[in-house]
Structure 1
């Protein structure tokens, strides 16, 4: 028997055995009068955020938040936008994501107050589109935004509670970047790449987004 196939079968057997004895279960969060939902973030209280697709508007998703332990799924009010997505949530219940600010599929990053209350548009780095993708417990947000040429995309970081969007730049030799997450020290991780999306390298920054350091790639990979 092929060794790789044997290993695969062995792993499946182990995982199946562990599943039978696991002390947990999966529970649906449901939707809000909808046909689809997807969770993308959770905090230490079990508040969950994500997006759902309402049945009356099957082409546009809306962001949601739950209460603790995933109970009581509720739509996030993002200025009445037809399309929105809640991407991440911190331990205060501040949510980061993006919404269609002019009903023309031009997204803007947003941040909420604690427990998803109140919404603030984070603006852009000069272009028409920005997207919020990560948040830490100080409310520092990260994501990606077009620059004024509306072609170049750069990673951004904000100060506490989403104040002041700042351009993180790119790695040397790259044209574009995106910030995907941020820790409690303000260290940011993401990717920086060429204009055609090729030659992408992972990066990490110092505290509060200072400096951008190339994490390199695995041998033979980009």
Structure 2
């Protein structure tokens, strides 16, 4: 992933059309941080994206954007994609525009999430938010790293915070360059290399049938509107499962 694609969420023009700005408009809860992110007690972060990995590396790139905004190591981020139960409805995935369109909303959600965690830490420490530092998945007062409280300790029942999916893109955060714009191991490659990844061709359901499309013998005007007169089934007669 190049620096240009990874930082696209920082450069989307604010005058862009509404459909280009808000990728989660199909989802009624798109303005809730909890719709996009979750943090477990052990600090592991789960990102929910309605886009799907088609081999372009977007799972890794989106994780990098969230890691930069949350200030969490990349290896602590898991990405759930295209799960119609768990992820927001972001329409189809096409045109190599996921980083341009889906990246900004995740960046905004992650920035809002970090703000929630910092505010909770400020309450615990009894200090202003401005005197706190976020890093490595934890928050601590300036100059007192030994007093750090992890995100897992601060998350509680969730974020419970709304944010503006169409709002200003968060400015680049200090230290983000160590994650965004840098090469990172592709999270989708290992399964593809070992054969563990499942594709639609691997899907097997009980009672599933396979069909064959029969088209006119030639694609000419003479074939348009043609109907099947007869089918020679002799080559497949006797095959198991033939219907």
TM-score, length-normalised on structure 2?
0.23
Structure with the larger RCO, 1 or 2 (CA within 8 Å, 6+ apart): 2
| Between structures 1 and 2, the one with greater helix share | 2
| Between structures 1 and 2, the one with greater strand share | 1
